[in-house]
Amino acid sequence: MMKYFKQVIYCVSVFCTMFFLMLPIQGQAKFKAPDKSENGIEYYIQESSGKRRSVGAKLKNSAKIIRVPESVMIGSKSYTVTEISGNCYPDTLDASPATDAYKCRKNTKTVRVIVPKTVRQVEQGTFTNFTNLKEIVVDRRNARFQSKKGSLLSKDGRILYAVPSIKGTYRVPKGVQVIYNRAFAYSKVKKVILPKSCKTIQERAFYRCRNLKEVHNLRYIEKLGKDIFYGSQIK
């Protein structure tokens, strides 16, 4: 019995150790010192095995126009830029709707972000609190994303990932089926008009949009995430 008990204790100990080691993996690269910093961007090496070398680009509040390059030299090696993120990149989950791990210093300087063809991933919350952002521009050769009306969409136009800073009415482009997690978070938008094609609104899509009073065509939505309108004027 004692032998069995020791085995159980050992297994539990190993599991807990592995669990806590895995927790910070997703975000830890964003909190260490950058491998390089220039032109309003911090670069973090993602992988460097063999010939495949890539970096993530973290956008900072220090440039009016941020042009994300296709590649960057770090030391004597060239790295392809495959991911972008913003000032907001948490390593902990939100404890409640009232808390926000993505909340950070506002980006008040950047008015335009230019995304290259090499980017394959844009972290949720990347453009949170970009208070003066006028447009997100995507290289037409990018196989994953496109820009329309200054917004960031999937290449097929079905997912709306992020919108620029809007103070009045925003009409979601036709064909959009999914409003992505935090797509409008902290926006000053007052009214949003959804197309009939839109069927899903993900978690915290309109989080803390304090001026938001109207969202049209909600009757067509089939799937609603959590805390979509938390902090807005819609109940």
Q: What is the mean pLDDT of the chain?
A: 84
Q: Could you read off the pLDDT of 207-227 as tens digits, one per residue?
A: 999 999 999 999 999 999 999
Q: Which pTM was predicted?
A: 0.81
- What is the dihedral angle through the alpha carbons of 30, 93, 209, 66, rounded to the nearest 10 degrees? 10
Is residue 101 within 8 Å of 89, Cβ to Cβ? no
Whether 4 shows a pLDDT value over 60: the answer reads: no
Higher pLDDT, 139 or 87: 139
Q: CA gyration radius for the chain?
A: 20
Q: Could you read off the pLDDT of 70-99 as tens digits, one per residue?
A: 999 999 999 999 999 887 655 555 677 777
Q: Which residues pair with 65 in a beta bridge?
A: 112
The span from the CA of 202 to the CA of 216, in Å, is 16
The span from the CA of 97 to the CA of 234, in Å, is 15
